[in-house]
Amino acid sequence: MPEHRRLVIIGAGIVGCSAAYHLAELGWEDILVLDQGPLFETGGSTSHAPGIVFGTNPSHTMSRFAQYSVKLFNDLTYQGERCWYPVGCLEVAESEARMREILRRSGYNTGYGMRNETLNPQEIQTLVPLIDPGAIQGGMFVPDDGVGKAWKLAGALAERAAKDGAVEFRGGTAVQDIILENGRVTAVVTDQGRLYCEQVLLCTNIWGSVLADKVGVDLPFMACAHHYALTEPLPELAGETRWTAYPAVRHQDRAMYFRHWGESWCTGSYRHEPRIVSPYQVGKDAYWAWRDDDFEVAIEDAAHLFPALRGRRYIEKVNGMFVFSVDGFPIMGPTEVPGFWVSIGIWVTHSGGAGKTIAEWMTRGTTEWDPHEIDVARFHEFQKKPAFVTARSAQNYREVYDIIHPLQQMERPRGLRKTPFHEHLKKLEAVFFASAGWERPQWYAANRDLLAEFEGRIPERRGWEAQNWSPIQGAEHLATRERAGLFELGAFTKIEVSGPGALGYLERLCANRIDRPVGKVVYTSMLNESGGIVCDLTVTRLARERFWVLTGGGSGPHDLAWMRRHLPGDVSVHLADVSSQYTTLGLWGPRAREILAPLVPEDISNTAFPYYSARSLSIGEVPAYALRVSYAGELGWEIYTPTEYGAYLWQLLWDAGRPHGLAAAGMGAFDSLRLEKGYRLWGQDIDPESNPIEAGLDWAVRSGKGEFTGRRALEQIREQGVRRKLCCMVFTDRQGMALGKEPIFAGDRAVGYVTSTNYGYSRGVHILYGYLPLAHAEPGGELEVAYFGKRYPAVVVEEPLFDPGMARMRG
Ligand code: FAD
């Protein structure tokens, strides 16, 4: 009788073991965890890691993964041996820029509920006596971080998972292939024979692609060799019997980290060119040859911070490998192959939270914490190509400890995707930002002349907040509000849904009513079973059985994957990504109609072409389809045309618009316009963790229309009431500044963090959005927002700030 299991987890490192433990906790049975190595020191990354848990992270999800891991590890023992040491972790600053960065990072921690304090050099030396306080300016201490015995933590989780017989662990068994039947997982082939199963969870980390490639799933990461070494015993630590007793230290100015290890000191370094290794070259024990030349500079720099290390020999040397993905985040979730799940690229630090998340995902299809940054479905095609993967993985290794500005632009590869407007934009001296591979204008330097016109209405910025910013964004914003702006929107994702089942399919996926007359535009969310917002988009009915789903450029692959996963099992619905076939311009502003009308034979008056409707237009010679909607909150249209007409269409509109004062406007203006109008941005203000009620989007839900995904959960939430609300705030101090993710305080207590922020140029206020507990969510509520450690007063206000009566949009 061939062996059959409900689930096979491949990989018994800390990620596979954590997943198994959490699945068992959720009631799963009949799980087999296979590893090619011996259990639990398998030879994977977990076996090599020094086990430091530095939880500080700009991502809320990753921060929670780490915070949860620490709680989980705290009471784990492996074969009676303690595995976790809550010694805390320090980040120290040598440079002034780093000291400021530490204040910013302290802000994330505070906003995300992670205890931390900033310390001066003497206070740091009290915690770690070997540090030279003269070498640093200060730092941050996170008391709940610590150090774990990584592979023993994995073993401890495995012991718990196996305790009631729900999970079996088997070492010395290499998986060689994954078998699909009718496109779904049915078995794995191991070096011991074939094993049938319903599902596979791949936790093979640096080897990930070897098996994923066999079922056609791209995992865009590379393994990077990375080294650390232990000194010979130090006289300063003679007789020290504790495994680790002092906080671990990150010295990011020199791309290094340290920890105490018995009588030795451990130094890890990223200060060398990345040594990229293909998953196919990893070998069985994941060790790479030690390179003295890569570690030389680390030896010198370590002694600079820890003088006791000067002249000491490094005796234990490890050059292991770990995963660097193209965007630095883990790769998790359901793949396009039914039954095939992945959980790859996860540090020991995040392994607890990752295990909880993948287990929830596999059990109920949703997760407690927003998974959009880690979702395997998030990648664009170009991000999976080997040249891109190698370049970006290497760059992420180089930048692992760098100070990254929120608007920092990648230098290479650039120019990958260009809209048909590109040459026009260049002529207008567009300052391009890369977004999902597209070159998009952030502002146009040629608009510098507008600055004089709007003098006094665009606050100056200096230093950090002025980086990757221009006052011209403000001028483009104001020109749009007062006359009209031409926005290139070529990166939009356009998905065509057609067929006899299209309407029913969309009605089941969307929270708003889709069954409306041909030519109607509907703004809607797609919800998950918990009522969380998975997609935020518009649906336009082009014909009885033909719809366009329009969504952002960045979230396109994610949204498309969600839609594909929910297709009915028959051929009644056809889904096509037509993004490259059509391009888009936004023409918005009070003069938009005056500009467009002379170019079209059709009647575009408000009666003939009302708000939230769509129709074909002949714009000069150009066949176009226009939607009367505006993310800027103005009269105007999103205009779609086959891509090859794009450049010509731009010219037509440009020539017609110039006498009316039309300005080309970039994404910087786009963002401040949408924020004035209170439009939520998916991935920032709304995500699968937030529901339409707390996000203020209940107006776009039609619970009475019949069954749709998430409806029941939403009804329950409505009955029970929400605990938090997405609120609009403004600074009451003109000095107030924020760029996103800053902590929000009510008195001394951090009650949330900033999800979106920008200056509202036409309102003359700095706008902030964030979720607040109901007690603080009423207009008039007084709060403070900390920017680089300095607090600025803010107040909750009614939203939207601009045109609440919709007179502009409906005009
Ligand atoms: P692994 O531990 O690599 O487990 C994958 C498993 O899959 C292996 O056991 C392997 O044998 C098995 N496998 C592979 N292919 C097959 C197959 N075909 N069939 C069966 N089994 C297979 N993280 C931190 O948080 N803090 C640190 O201080 C830290 N320092 C590090 C230092 C070094 C030198 C290295 C290399 C990594 C470090 N990391 C650190 C990263 C961390 O160790 C890893 O990200 C983490 O351990 C990955 O866990 P995993 O379970 O996904 O992978």
330 contacts 346 by C-beta, under 8 angstroms: yes
Quote the CA–CA distance of 531 and 714 in Å, as a whole number.
5
**Taking residues 232-252, what's their average pLDDT?**
97
How far, in Å, CA of 684 to CA of 673, rounded? 16
Distance 73 CA to ligand 1 centre (A): 17
- Pick the residue whose CA is nearest to atom 6 on ligand 1: 11
- Three-class DSSP category at 116: coil
Round to whole Å and give the CA distance between 523 and 131: 57
| Tokens describing residue 46 | 């977990």
Residue 154 CA: which ligand 1 atom is closest? 51
- Write the CA distances from 720 to 690, 712, 770, integer angstroms: 15, 12, 22
Does ligand 1 have an atom closer than 6 angstroms to the CB of 321? Answer: yes
Which pLDDT band, with edges at 50, 70 and 90, does 474 fall under?
Answer: very high
CB-based contact 295:309 (threshold 8 Å): no
Atom of ligand 1 nearest to the CA of 347: 45
State how far Cα 526 lies from the chain centre.
Answer: 19
Q: Is the pLDDT of residue 539 over 80?
A: yes
Contact by Cβ (8 Å): 290, 279: no
Structure tokens at 644: 């090859």
Q: Is there an atom of ligand 1 within 6 Å of 325 CB?
A: no
Contacts 24+ apart (CB under 8 A), 327-330: 327/373, 327/378, 327/383, 327/392, 327/396, 328/396, 328/400, 329/59, 329/62, 329/373, 329/374, 330/354, 330/374
Q: Is 10 in the pocket of ligand 1 (CB under 6 A)?
A: yes
Rounded to an integer, what distance in angstroms lies between the CA atom of residue 769 and that of residue 631?
17
Indicate the DSSP class of residue 47.
H
Atom of ligand 1 nearest to the CA of 321: 36
- 2 pLDDT above the threshold of 80: no
**Ligand 1 atom with least separation from CA of 15:** 51
Ligand 1 neighbourhood includes 527 CB (under 6 angstroms): no
Q: Classify residue 424 as left (phi > 0), alpha (psi -120 to 50) or beta.
A: alpha
Q: What is the pTM of this model?
A: 0.97
Q: Sort 189 into a burial class: Cβ within 10 Å, 0-12 / 13-18 / 19+.
A: middle
Helix, coil or strand: residue 302: helix
| pLDDT tens-digit readout, 147-190 | 999 999 999 999 999 999 999 999 999 999 999 999 999 999 99
Rounded Cα distance, 144 and 473, in Å: 42
What's the rounded Cα separation, in Å, for the pair 110 and 116? 7
Query: Is 148 a pocket residue for ligand 1 (Cβ < 6 Å)?
Result: no
Tens-digit pLDDT profile for residues 328-356: 999 999 999 999 999 999 999 999 999 99
Q: Report the candidate in 719, 342, 681 with the shortest Cα–Cα distance to residue 531.
A: 719
Residue with tokens 């530490």: 102
| DSSP H stretches of helix in 140-243 | 150-162, 208-212
Q: CA-to-CA distance for 786 and 743, rounded, in angstroms?
A: 6
Tell me the per-residue pLDDT of 266-282, one tens digit each, with 9 for 90 and over. 999 998 888 999 999 99
Average pLDDT of the chain is 97
Cβ atoms of 59 and 354 closer than 8 Å: no
CA distance 456 to 549: 41
Q: Where are the alpha helices (DSSP H) in 377-482?
A: 386-398, 422-427, 450-453, 471-482
Active-site residue 536, yes or no? yes
Inter-residue contact 201 to 167 (CB < 8 Å) = no
For the cut 80, the answer to whether the pLDDT of residue 480 exceeds it is yes
pLDDT given for residue 286 in this prediction:
82
Of all protein residues, the one whose alpha carbon is nearest to atom 41 of ligand 1 is 347
What gap in Å lies between CA 159 and CA 115, rounded to an integer? Answer: 31
Is residue 349 within 6 Å of ligand 1 at its C-beta?
yes
Q: Which of 226, 380, 477, 776 is catalytic?
A: 226
Distance 187 CA to ligand 1 centre (A): 24
Give yes or no: 257 in active site: yes
Q: What pLDDT, on the 0 to 100 scale, is given for residue 284?
A: 82
- pLDDT at position 204 over 80: yes
Q: Is 254 in the pocket of ligand 1 (CB under 6 A)?
A: no
Residues 6+ apart with CB under 8 A from 288: 225, 275, 277, 319, 320, 321
Query: Do 33 and 167 meet the contact criterion of CB atoms below 8 Å apart?
Result: yes
DSSP H helices, 84-226, are 96-111, 121-127, 150-162, 208-212
Phi then psi for residue 540, to 5 deg, are -120, 130
Mutate to test the pocket of ligand 1, among 9, 45, 176 (most ligand atoms within 8 A of CB): 45
The alpha carbon of 199 is separated from its chain's Cα centroid by a whole number of angstroms, namely 27
686-742 per-position pLDDT tens digit = 999 999 999 999 999 999 999 999 999 999 999 999 999 999 999 999 999 999 999
pLDDT of residue 287: 85
pLDDT over 90 for what percent of the chain?
96
- What is residue 464's DSSP assignment? G
Is the pLDDT at 258 greater than 80? The verdict is yes
Q: What's the start-to-end Cα distance of the chain, in Å?
A: 73
Of the residues 78, 85, 257, 444, only one is catalytic, namely: 257
pLDDT tens digits, one per residue of 365-423: 999 999 999 999 999 999 999 999 999 999 999 999 999 999 999 888 899 999 999 99
Q: Which of 46, 47, 151 to mutate to test the pocket of ligand 1 (most atoms within 8 A of CB)?
A: 46
Count other C-beta atoms under 10 Å from residue 223's C-beta.
28
Cα separation values, 589 from 123, 462, 658, 680, Å: 56, 30, 13, 20
**CB-based contact 392:326 (threshold 8 Å):** yes
The distance from CA 797 to its chain's CA centroid, rounded to whole angstroms, is 28
- CA trace torsion 788, 791, 792, 793 (10° rounding): 150
Cα–Cα dist 224/356, whole Å = 26
- pLDDT value at position 340? 98
Q: How far is the CA of 293 from the centre of ligand 1 (A)?
A: 25
Closest CA to 555 of 582, 533, 581, 531: 533
Give me the pLDDT at residue 283, please. Answer: 84
Rounded to an integer, what is the distance from CA 227 to the centroid of its chain?
A: 28
Is 809 a pocket residue for ligand 1 (Cβ < 6 Å)? no
Can you give the pLDDT at residue 288? Answer: 86
490 close to ligand 1 (CB < 6 Angstrom): no
pLDDT at 285: 80
Q: Ligand 1 centroid to 523 CA: how many Å?
A: 43
Residues 802, 676 contacting (CB under 8 angstroms): yes
Within 10 angstroms of residue 126's Cβ, the number of other Cβ atoms is 11
With beta carbons less than 8 A apart as the criterion, state whether 74 and 86 touch: yes
Question: Residue 142: pLDDT above 90?
Answer: yes
Nearest CA among 695, 673, 378, 348 for reference residue 523:
695
Nearest one of 85, 74, 403, 140 to 259, comparing CA atoms? 85
Nearest Cα neighbor of 49 from 223, 208, 227 is 227
